[in-house]
């Protein structure tokens, strides 16, 4: 697959409209629940409900390797800062987070502590720190080098969380109603900012993401809308509505690497694209070409490539970039 890093750093509406499915992987036997690109952009890792972990080569457009976690189950998988290790939550036995060596499929460390299902898991973009949040209403801060929790926050509801691009602060979405910002160096003092957010009835939040430039925060949920707020003052900027979701599953959205566009998955397999610099400006709707509902969607951090998944995993490139 012809990937060009320089061209992938900036996008225009013309290149967005040319995005199309260029490779479909139909080997999965169950629903893909999470995906994550490596920081270098050359690998993609996924987890599925059948306890399978699959690694894809983004440059060659091939499935590179398949692993299994039959004993513990797997969800919310993330590469660490090396392409040889990953962390993931568990779906069986307990709610321990596990640190996996990918070449030999062996666990390097366990991170026990959560008493209920882990709902959010993310690596810091700059070091070995990672965050986890759970239905036990706690947010925990960890370091890959120690099995002991480095910080613990008791909250008033289920959290979703993410680091900002510089790894200096993190945002936590609490109880489907507010976003709190914490300084990583003094998180024990409480949030330095709290933003009330729009609420869609009967729609729990499923994820929180900072834009790559750190200026925006996007909240996705189990309903039919995704919204964006200003990361500095909490001002509501965009509501991306009209997303099909008859099954009320978690929808996901992703920013382009230049933060100029938001790509929102939909239950009917379509991708709705908005311009984040213009109020409620929809650019286009992209056809998933029968790849199924879009439960997972991420844009490659280094290349002009997007990945979507449900039962089928698909790579997207602008028309003219593929071989």
pLDDT band at 226 (very low <50, low <70, confident <90, very high): confident
For position 323, what pLDDT does the model report? Answer: 47
Across 29-45, average pLDDT: 92
Confidence of residue 124 (pLDDT cuts 50, 70, 90): very high
- The better pLDDT of the pair 265, 144 is held by 144
Confidence of residue 139 (pLDDT cuts 50, 70, 90): very high
Name the residue with higher pLDDT: 263 or 239. 263
Confidence of residue 279 (pLDDT cuts 50, 70, 90): confident
> Which residues, in sequence order, are CB contacts of 14 under 8 Å at separation 6+?
none
Q: Write down the pLDDT at residue 136.
A: 94
Of 175 and 261, the one with more pLDDT: 261
Q: Say whether pLDDT at 247 is over 70.
A: no
Model's pTM, two decimal places?
0.91
- Residues 173-212 have pLDDT tens digits of 988 889 999 999 888 888 999 999 876 666 788 899 999 9
Q: Give the pLDDT confidence of 49-84 residue by residue, as tens digits.
A: 888 999 999 999 999 999 988 889 899 999 999 999
Q: Taking the C-alpha atoms of 307, 205, 110 and 78 in order, what is their torsion angle to the nearest 10 degrees?
A: 20
Fold of 5-318: Methylamine Dehydrogenase; Chain H (2.130.10)
Most confident region among 10-14, 198-202, 232-236, 242-246 by mean pLDDT: 232-236
Residue 6's pLDDT band (cuts 50, 70, 90): very low
The predicted pLDDT at position 250 comes to 74
């Amino acid at each position: 697959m012809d990937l060009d890093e320089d061209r992938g750093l900036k996008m225009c509406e013309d290149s967005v409209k040319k995005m199309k499915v260029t490779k479909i992987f139909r080997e999965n036997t169950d629903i893909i629940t999470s995906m994550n690109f490596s920081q270098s952009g050359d690998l993609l890792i996924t987890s599925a409900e059948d306890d399978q972990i699959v690694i894809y080569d983004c440059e060659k457009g091939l499935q590179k390797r398949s692993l299994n976690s039959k004993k513990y189950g797997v969800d919310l998988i993330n590469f660490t800062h090396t392409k040889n290790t990953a962390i993931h939550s568990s779906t069986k036995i307990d709610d321990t987070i596990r640190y996996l060596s990918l070449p030999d499929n062996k666990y390097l460390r366990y991170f026990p502590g959560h008493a209920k299902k882990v709902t959010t898991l993310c690596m810091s973009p700059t070091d070995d720190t990672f965050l986890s949040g759970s239905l036990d209403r706690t947010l925990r801060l960890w370091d890959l080098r120690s099995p002991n929790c480095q910080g613990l926050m008791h909250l008033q509801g289920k959290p979703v969380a993410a680091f900002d691009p510089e790894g200096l602060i993190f945002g936590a979405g609490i109880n489907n109603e507010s976003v709190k910002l914490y300084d990583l160096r003094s998180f024990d003092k409480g949030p330095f900012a709290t933003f009330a957010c729009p609420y869609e009835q009967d729609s729990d939040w499923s994820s929180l993401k900072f834009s790559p430039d750190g200026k925006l925060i996007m909240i996705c949920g189990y309903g039919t809308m995704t919204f964006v707020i200003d990361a500095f003052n909490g001002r509501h900027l965009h509501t991306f509505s009209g997303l099909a979701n008859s099954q009320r599953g978690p929808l996901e959205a992703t920013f382009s690497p230049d933060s100029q566009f938001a790509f929102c998955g939909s239950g009917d397999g379509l991708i709705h694209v908005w311009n984040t610099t213009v109020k409620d400006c929809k650019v286009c709707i992209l056809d998933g070409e029968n790849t199924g509902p879009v439960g997972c969607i991420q844009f490659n951090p280094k290349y002009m490539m997007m990945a979507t998944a449900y039962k089928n995993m698909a790579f997207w490139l602008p028309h003219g970039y593929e071989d």
